[in-house]
Amino acid sequence: MRIEVLGTFRVRVGNGVAPDEAWRRRKPAAVLKLLALAPGHRMHREQMMDMLWPELDPAAAGANLRKAVHHARAALEATSAGAGDVIVTAGDVLALDARDLVVDAVQFRSRLAAARRANDVDGYRQAIDLYRGELLPDDPYEEWAAGPRRELQVDFLAGLTEMAGMLEAAGDVEAAIDGVRRLVAADPTGEEANAALMRLYALAGRRADALRQYEHLSRVLDHELGVEPGPATQRLYEEIRARQADEPELSAALWERVGDLRAVSGDHAGAAKAFLLALGADAERATRASVERKCAVSFLMQHRPELAAPHLQAADELTTDSAERARLLRARAQLGWESGDMASAERYAEQARVAAHEHGIADDIAAAYEAVAIVAHCKGAWRDGVASELERLASDDTGAAQLGRVFEMHHCIGQYHLYGDGLAESVEDYARRILDRAISAGATWAQAFAFCLLGETLLLQGRWDEADGCLERSCATHASLDARSGALPWQRRAELAVCRGAYDDAEAYVRTATGLATVSPMASHLWGRIYGVRGLAALEQGDPEGAVRAVQNAAAAAARYGDCPTCSALLNPVAAEAFARAGEPEAAGAYAEAAHRVAAMFSSAAWQAMAHAALGSAAMARGDTRAAIGHFESASQGYRKAGQPYWADRSARQASLVAI
């Protein structure tokens, strides 16, 4: 059976299609629609009665529901013998027999989730092709359809945006134009989409179309909102208008901008392609030098040092600017650690730090300190490195914003220690020693970091009162330092609140973390954590739809800000469970595969436990009870070995529930 709810309502059973007159009664059709959209295609009778007959008393609504279910079964039976049995009852729950059942809206969300996890353009196309129009357009005034309609439209637009960005970075400009034109048609006042369309027209050599698009946007904004395009869009317009006769230079500059945008979003493969296209255009020497470096860094972010090395060599030969030279030293440090040459990585990182202080801007200084931290981590000397950096960071003239970015990187590296076999047990003692040294040195940033790390390890150990005090202190210390920092301790406080069942507190903490992540220079390390906790809270409250929304928001944020696989590790098992409970095995499987890939990077019990938990949910979604139980039991054992009692007990409960 296939139920279509996007762009129309249609039911197909085998080779037959239910005629429109089969659904002339609105309430029987509504029963099938509600079950098609419900998580797991299951809904309690009282919930359905409240949605369809809110004005009636329970007895009258119950009678109407029984009648509507009878007519819905009859309509299905008329389409194909035996189809009426698809609507089943289990106590007070109505459900659709999910075997061989496909709902296009569910399929759309699952395909989109899988495409996002795999960065697969063809997967995006398949998902977007399933969206043939808004949800249930013949039910425009039904309140129960309004929320899902908005959510699916947001997913569709986000998917279009992400796919267009990938196509643009890959150089498939005309295909990207088609996608962005659909975005503009859906929201004519959307300035970001209009600017993207202008840029794409310019890249395609269609300067007149780019200028006309700006003029059209100006008219729409003035008519609808009484405003003009923002400064960034105006600047893009002026660039295109002023350089109409200078196509090669303009193409190089625009392709470099595309590469920068893709790098920020975490699509390093797309960024490398865009930078290569920029290099293929004629550009002045200084521009070419920076693009060569950026291209090399994009390859390094993909762990391809052999492809990065020639571009770094080219950049070295072209670079004359002192600030650009400092950035190149930082890139050479990254080449060193990616190639396993830690001696050169350490040498270049230290040179980059000195050069950035002398010639660079604030971001260059922060990036150099990040390189120093990463080298120490790769050498297995991160803990000693943090301790030795405290006095230097406290005594030099590094600005507050740069210190915030440096310690955000230390937070990211700290996750490896929190979840690593042979490392996690000593994190508590280490955090206390760092805190003592930070207090003695008057290093406030280090105090905020140490309080957070101590709170995290206490949280994982299940020592919740102690953890709460440390995390609260970290939040307060961050607040006194920089308005852009502190998202991690707020996220961990939210996680702690979920563990305790204090869901209102958790939501308040998540909102604070969200606001900070929006402006954080380390956003890619934060969104997976934040939405992972929000999804966990929804699951613990029996709201799989809310959990799926959180996962979808995480994917959209990752497309915009980038993603850190280790910092986002919690998201994968939560996402797999959310989609499994929502009856979407394909999407659950995609996140289980992502969890397995992350676990393959690390051999610790905690990472493996997260992978087993996700695989258990995927098996549950497929109906493979035996495999699900095995994975959940393995997850429980892994968490127990890692010293994480809350997660061990939770996985054990999941195994027991599947076995019932």
Both tokens assigned to 150: 């908005």
**pLDDT computed for residue 245 by the predictor:** 43
Mean pLDDT of 110-138: 91
Neighbouring residues of 442: CB distance < 8 A, sequence distance ≥ 6: 394
Mean pLDDT of 118-130: 91
Greatest mean pLDDT among 16-20, 114-118, 498-502 lies in 498-502
Residues 488 and 513: their CA atoms lie apart, in Å, by 7
Domain count, the chain: 1
What pLDDT band is residue 98 in, cutting at 50, 70 and 90? low
Task: Decide if 262 contacts 163 (C-beta within 8 A).
Answer: no
Task: Decide if 615 contacts 608 (C-beta within 8 A).
Answer: no
**pLDDT computed for residue 411 by the predictor:** 82
**pLDDT computed for residue 643 by the predictor:** 95
Task: Decide if 438 contacts 390 (C-beta within 8 A).
Answer: yes
**For residue 109, which of 239, 5, 241 has the smallest C-alpha distance?**
5
Q: Has residue 6 got a pLDDT over 90?
A: yes
Q: Has residue 530 got a pLDDT over 90?
A: yes
Both tokens assigned to 265: 């979003």
* Amino acid at position 389, single letter: E
- Tell me what the pLDDT averaged over the chain comes to: 89
pLDDT digits (tens, 9 = 90+) for 424-456: 889 999 999 989 988 887 888 889 999 999 999
Q: Has residue 319 got a pLDDT over 60?
A: yes
Find the range with the poorest average confidence among 164-173, 236-245, 366-375, 384-393.
Answer: 384-393
**pLDDT computed for residue 250 by the predictor:** 63
Percentage of residues in the chain having pLDDT higher than 70: 95
Q: Has residue 392 got a pLDDT over 70?
A: no
Strand order in the sheet with 2-4: 16-17, 10-13, 2-4, 102-103
Mean pLDDT of 222-251: 80
Neighbouring residues of 449: CB distance < 8 A, sequence distance ≥ 6: 407, 410, 411, 434, 438, 474
Q: Has residue 534 got a pLDDT over 80?
A: yes
Both tokens assigned to 55: 């004005």
Mean pLDDT of 279-291: 81
Bridge-based pairing state of the strands 2-4 and 102-103: parallel
Both tokens assigned to 302: 């993909």
Between 366 and 62, residue with greater pLDDT: 62
Residue 230, in any domain of the structure: no
Residue 99, in any domain of the structure: no
Q: Has residue 376 got a pLDDT over 50?
A: yes
Find the range with the poorest average confidence among 194-198, 321-325, 440-444.
Answer: 440-444
Between 406 and 604, residue with greater pLDDT: 604
Strand order in the sheet with 93-96: 42-44, 93-96, 87-90
**pLDDT computed for residue 391 by the predictor:** 58
Q: Has residue 618 got a pLDDT over 90?
A: yes
Residue 627, in any domain of the structure: yes
Residues 483 and 401: their CA atoms lie apart, in Å, by 9
**pLDDT computed for residue 382 by the predictor:** 82
Bridge-based pairing state of the strands 10-13 and 16-17: antiparallel
Q: Which helix (H) or strand (E) holds 325?
A: helix 322-339
Coil vs helix vs strand at 577: helix
Both tokens assigned to 655: 């195994």
Please give the C-alpha separations between residue 238 and each of 218, 253, 313, in angstroms, as whole numbers. Answer: 14, 13, 34
Q: Has residue 395 got a pLDDT over 60?
A: no
pLDDT digits (tens, 9 = 90+) for 60-71: 999 999 999 999
Between 383 and 35, residue with greater pLDDT: 35
Residue 564, in any domain of the structure: no
Q: Has residue 397 got a pLDDT over 50?
A: no
Q: Has residue 402 got a pLDDT over 60?
A: no
Is 141 exposed, middle or buried (CB count within 10 Å of its CB: 0-12, 13-18, 19+)? exposed
Residue 640, in any domain of the structure: yes
Residues 631 and 616: their CA atoms lie apart, in Å, by 5
Residues 531 and 507: their CA atoms lie apart, in Å, by 11
Q: Has residue 594 got a pLDDT over 60?
A: yes
Residue 365, in any domain of the structure: no
**pLDDT computed for residue 68 by the predictor:** 94
Helices (H), 379-443: 382-395, 400-418, 424-441
Q: Has residue 365 got a pLDDT over 70?
A: yes
Find the range with the poorest average confidence among 136-145, 476-485, 597-606.
Answer: 476-485
What pLDDT band is residue 325 in, cutting at 50, 70 and 90? very high
C-alpha dihedral (30, 33, 38, 42), degrees to nearest 10? 70
Mean pLDDT of 223-236: 92
Find the range with the poorest average confidence among 180-189, 248-257, 323-332.
Answer: 248-257
What pLDDT band is residue 367 in, cutting at 50, 70 and 90? confident
What pLDDT band is residue 299 in, cutting at 50, 70 and 90? very high
Please give the C-alpha separations between residue 92 and each of 27, 76, 136, 291, 439, in angstroms, as whole numbers. Answer: 19, 22, 26, 63, 60
Mean pLDDT of 105-128: 90
Is 34 exposed, middle or buried (CB count within 10 Å of its CB: 0-12, 13-18, 19+)? buried
Which domain does 602 fall in, by range? 569-660
Q: How many CA atoms lie less than 13 Å away from 43 in the CB half-sphere?
A: 24
Name the phi and psi angles at 385, rounded to 5. Answer: -65, -40
Mean pLDDT of 126-139: 94
Mean pLDDT of 323-331: 94
**pLDDT computed for residue 511 by the predictor:** 95
**pLDDT computed for residue 555 by the predictor:** 84
Find the range with the poorest average confidence among 137-151, 389-403, 477-491, 641-655.
Answer: 389-403
pLDDT digits (tens, 9 = 90+) for 538-592: 999 999 989 998 998 888 888 777 788 778 888 999 999 999 998 888 899 999 9
What pLDDT band is residue 246 in, cutting at 50, 70 and 90? very low
Q: Has residue 260 got a pLDDT over 60?
A: yes
**pLDDT computed for residue 23 by the predictor:** 87
**pLDDT computed for residue 249 by the predictor:** 57
Mean pLDDT of 301-323: 94
Residues 352 and 358: their CA atoms lie apart, in Å, by 10
Mean pLDDT of 33-58: 93
Q: How many CA atoms lie less than 13 Å away from 557 in the CB half-sphere?
A: 26
**pLDDT computed for residue 295 by the predictor:** 96
Name the phi and psi angles at 89, rounded to 5. Answer: -120, 145
Task: Decide if 255 contacts 225 (C-beta within 8 A).
Answer: no
